[in-house]
Amino acid sequence: MDVAFLVSKEGIEQAELTEPWKAVEHAGHNPRLVSPEPGKVQAFNHLDPADTFTVDVTAADARPGDFAALVLPGGVANGDLLRSLPDAVEFVREFVALGRPIAVICHGGWVLIEADAVRGKRLTSWPSLRTDYRNAGATWADEPLIVDGNLISSRKPDDLPEFNRALIAALDR
């Protein structure tokens, strides 16, 4: 099964991209990098540039129905950029309508808020998004992992082991 990892051009928290990516591969699935722009994306280790990764398909060309799940890695700049890009927001809206698993960590949820996909949901994130989630109609809690229906959420890189287990469990259902 293909799993979409939606990211912007830069500012992706590298561990929040690569660790779930490896977990998806290890479980026998096919991760695919989706971004509003073709080419390469720049990951970061917090504020320091890290590796670059090649985009597999643009958000405009990707078909949400072709993916079993969606992963939204964090990174402040990544989350902020994604929510301002119409192709990314529309990809998320279409994916939400399918009811398939969505795994979001850290600042990755800003695009979910922009897509009006958190109303009535319980989730977690980096604490600075607490008010944004609440203003969008969600219930926010400071916990390492929250699973609410098809929505899997975690706060930060330290939560990745639990996040990855929940993502793989959702794919195996």
Catalogue the active-site residues: 106-107
Residue 119 tokens, joined: 């109303």
Q: 70 CB contacts (<8 Å, ≥6 apart)?
A: 3, 4, 6, 64, 92, 95, 100, 101, 102, 103
Amino acid at 77: A
Cα 64 from chain centre: 14
**Residue 10 three-state SS:** strand
